[in-house]
């Protein structure tokens, strides 16, 4: 990949110093917004063609636009890294543009950029475990660049992006503030790069799906009609994922993924242990036919029925019936992580439940790390930062925040005028966007070994979309045999690419799909 400095419209090689944490945040933000852009070129061989592309990494400002242009300084900067296929005489028509982002909140877009979507990727072992160092990126023949020009967004305080001060952080660290900020940034990017005549797609992963569902409606309201929305590892309804008092939904929705994981680790017997399909189907049936009703009854459940429910949960998870009864028939994710493989002294991974890690010698139940994410975070962080510096020429010296826990801690989950304890939900936004835009279609991707955003919780969210049957046909849900970042497994990377190609209408059907219902 070659690099060029665009001296005509940037200060990437001038005297503006790169921001560091030693400078006040307002000065650091101003320095970011006057640095770059960093321009480079590259090529990648896909199964169909050799793609020549241009890459630009740049910072765009976030303004408080409720009252229009006010002359106030920007609240923050968002980093935009775009890959654009060079037009040819044979194909000079505007290409579609796909904006992509991860979640957290507090995660940079490095996972999608270097996992499945961009022209380079970090390779992880198919079993979910990390290879030995050193780590480097490789060409990605299955890059989505074959279908779209790509723009990866790092929101404030992820990657190198920053906010001006504490007041600005309060405005952008929240469900609604984040959506407003990224809506404005995407409109700016389209204007700066003269791409208003391109079909626009969004791709979000994890909290990026919370964000993406709301952005679909926000962009529609601001005059940007989307062609499509890609949701990877959904988290649109936080109530489905949070084990909190008086919220029984997650106990039911996590169970099929727990059964799937237990079958993988050899904890199930008989027919349930014979295949992952058998384990999942039995757990799904049990949830619908018995478990939800039992949870609803609570203390009104008879002792005989309580014992029967505990025995079935034991058969489906491998946990002891006694332990399950002691926990009132409610298996939290933490209980499962620590107890499923306790006899072997192992902790089950959260975001990749095929991966396990060793417990301490005292077999503590303190959650110190997630073996599933730790297996990939080091390779991505190291290979990614080398790529940004050496291939893209980004010369910033401040630390690149792959995951910033402080953003997550400070996040405002309330929406609108709501105050207090609310479960954030953006499925109403997605339903409204689907009803408003008759051309919007949605592709949802779920990993069956994801115990952070389980596939069955996504099934539930999609089933609750407030749309008529004819609109629901525009929502497709596909499933993969890995975890949260299912694309780290080569077979699922290939399957996801085939499914995307088919969904876009660029290939004949190659795999069985099922629409959300």
For residue range 63-87, list pLDDT tens digits in order: 987 655 567 899 999 999 999 998 8
List where CATH 3.40.50.1820 sits in the chain.
Answer: 2-12+26-240+377-515
- 7 pLDDT tier (thresholds 50, 70, 90): very low
206: left (phi over 0), alpha (psi -120 to 50) or beta: left
Buried b (16+ CB within 10 A) or exposed e, 431-470: bbbbeebeebbbbbbbbbbbbbbbbbbbbbbbeebebeee
pLDDT value of residue 422 = 76
- Give the 3-state secondary structure percentages of the chain, helix then strand then coil, rounded to 5: 40, 20, 40
- Residue 22: pLDDT above 90? no
- Residue 284: pLDDT above 90? yes
**Of the ranges 7-11, 69-73, 160-164, 188-192, which one carries the lowest mean pLDDT score?**
7-11
Spatial contact of 164 and 181, defined as CB atoms under 8 Å apart: no
Q: How far apart are CA 406 and CA 43, in angstroms?
A: 37
- Residue 508: pLDDT above 50? no
- Residue 157: pLDDT above 80? yes
Spatial contact of 452 and 350, defined as CB atoms under 8 Å apart: yes
**Of the ranges 28-32, 142-146, 153-157, 285-289, which one carries the lowest mean pLDDT score?**
28-32
Spatial contact of 42 and 139, defined as CB atoms under 8 Å apart: no
Q: What are phi and psi of 93, to 5 degrees?
A: -65, 150
Residue found under tokens 């303004």: 63
Q: Tell me 37's DSSP state.
A: -
pLDDT value of residue 88 = 78
Spatial contact of 104 and 377, defined as CB atoms under 8 Å apart: no
pLDDT value of residue 24 = 67
For residue range 144-155, list pLDDT tens digits in order: 999 999 999 999
Q: Tell me 370's DSSP state.
A: -
User: Considering the chain, what is the average pLDDT of its residues?
Assistant: 91
Spatial contact of 310 and 324, defined as CB atoms under 8 Å apart: yes
Q: Is the dihedral of CA 221, 223, 225, 231 positive or negative?
A: negative
pLDDT value of residue 66 = 62
Spatial contact of 311 and 222, defined as CB atoms under 8 Å apart: no
Q: For the chain, state the CA radius of gyration.
A: 23
pLDDT value of residue 70 = 64
**Of the ranges 1-10, 30-39, 109-118, which one carries the lowest mean pLDDT score?**
1-10
- Residue 5: pLDDT above 50? no
Q: How far apart are CA 118 and CA 382, in angstroms?
A: 17
- 515 pLDDT tier (thresholds 50, 70, 90): very low
Residue found under tokens 């660049």: 145
State mean pLDDT over 120-140. Answer: 93
- Residue 299: pLDDT above 60? yes
- Residue 274: pLDDT above 70? yes
Q: Domain 2-12+26-240+377-515: which CATH class? A: alpha beta
The β-bridge relationship of strands 200-206 and 97-101 is: parallel
For residue range 354-398, list pLDDT tens digits in order: 999 999 988 888 888 899 999 999 999 999 999 999 999 999 988
**Of the ranges 8-12, 139-143, 450-454, which one carries the lowest mean pLDDT score?**
8-12
- Residue 21: pLDDT above 70? no
**Of the ranges 110-119, 127-136, 170-179, 505-514, which one carries the lowest mean pLDDT score?**
505-514
State mean pLDDT over 309-326. Answer: 98
State mean pLDDT over 303-315. Answer: 98
**Kind and range of the H or E element at 442?**
strand 441-447
3-state secondary structure at position 131: coil
Segments in 43-128 forming alpha helices (H): 110-112
Q: Is 95 exposed, middle or buried (0-12, 13-18, 19+ CB in 10 A)?
A: middle
Considering only CA atoms, which of 257, 244, 210, 249 is closest in space to residue 352?
A: 257
- Residue 173: pLDDT above 60? yes
Contacts of 27 (CB under 8 A, 6+ apart): 19
Spatial contact of 256 and 280, defined as CB atoms under 8 Å apart: yes
Of 372 and 331, more confident: 331
Q: How far apart are CA 125 and CA 373, in angstroms?
A: 13
Q: How far apart are CA 13 and CA 10, in angstroms?
A: 8
For residue range 82-108, list pLDDT tens digits in order: 999 988 777 778 899 999 999 999 999
- Residue 143: pLDDT above 70? yes
State mean pLDDT over 271-275. Answer: 97
């Amino acid at each position: 990949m070659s690099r060029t400095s665009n001296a005509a419209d940037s200060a990437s090689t001038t005297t503006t110093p790169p921001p560091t944490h030693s400078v006040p945040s307002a000065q650091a933000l101003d320095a970011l917004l006057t640095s770059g852009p960093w321009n480079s070129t590259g090529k990648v061989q896909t199964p169909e063609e050799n793609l020549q592309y241009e890459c630009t990494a740049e910072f765009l400002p976030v303004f408080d636009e409720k009252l229009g242009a006010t002359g106030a300084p920007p609240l923050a900067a968002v980093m935009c890294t775009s890959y654009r296929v060079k037009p040819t005489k044979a194909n000079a028509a505007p290409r579609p543009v796909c904006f992509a982002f991860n979640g957290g909140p507090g995660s940079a877009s490095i996972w999608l950029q270097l996992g499945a979507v961009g022209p380079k990727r970090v390779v992880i072992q198919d079993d979910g475990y990390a290879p030995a160092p050193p780590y480097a990126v490789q060409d990605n023949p299955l890059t989505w660049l074959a279908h779209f020009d790509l723009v990866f967004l790092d929101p404030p305080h992820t990657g190198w992006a920053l906010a001006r001060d504490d007041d600005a952080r309060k405005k952008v660290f929240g469900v609604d503030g984040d959506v407003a900020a990224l809506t404005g940034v995407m409109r700016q990017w389209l204007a700066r790069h003269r791409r208003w005549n391109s079909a626009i797609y969004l791709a979000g992963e994890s909290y990026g799906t919370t964000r993406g569902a709301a952005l679909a409606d926000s962009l529609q309201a601001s005059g940007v009609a989307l062609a499509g929305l890609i949701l990877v590892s959904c988290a649109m309804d936080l109530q489905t994922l949070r084990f909190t008092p008086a919220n029984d939904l997650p106990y039911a929705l996590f169970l099929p993924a727990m059964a799937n994981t237990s079958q993988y680790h050899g904890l199930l017997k008989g027919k349930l242990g014979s295949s992952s399909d058998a384990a999942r189907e039995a757990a799904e049936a049990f949830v619908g036919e018995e478990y939800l009703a039992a949870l609803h009854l609570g203390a009104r459940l008879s002792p005989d029925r309580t014992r029967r429910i505990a025995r079935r949960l034991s058969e489906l998870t491998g946990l002891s019936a006694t332990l399950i009864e002691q926990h009132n028939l409610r298996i939290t994710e933490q209980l499962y992580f620590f107890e499923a493989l306790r006899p072997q002294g192992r902790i089950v991974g959260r975001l990749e439940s095929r991966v396990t890690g060793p417990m301490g010698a005292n077999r503590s139940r303190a959650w110190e790390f997630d073996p599933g994410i730790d297996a990939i975070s080091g390779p991505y962080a190291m290979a990614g930062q080398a790529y940004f510096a050496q291939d893209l020429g980004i010369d910033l010296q401040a630390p690149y925040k792959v995951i910033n826990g402080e953003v997550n801690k400070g996040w405002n989950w309330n929406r609108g005028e709501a105050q207090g304890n609310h479960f954030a939900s953006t499925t109403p936004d997605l339903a409204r966007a689907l009803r408003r835009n008759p051309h919007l279609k949605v592709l949802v991707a779920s990993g069956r070994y994801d115990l952070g955003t389980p596939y069955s919780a996504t099934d539930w969210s999609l089933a609750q979309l407030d749309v008529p049957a004819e609109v629901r046909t525009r929502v497709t849900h596909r499933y993969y045999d890995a975890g949260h970042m299912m694309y780290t497994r080569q077979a699922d990377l290939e399957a996801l690419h085939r499914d995307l190609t088919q969904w876009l209408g660029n290939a004949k059907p190659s795999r069985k799909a099922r629409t959300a219902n």
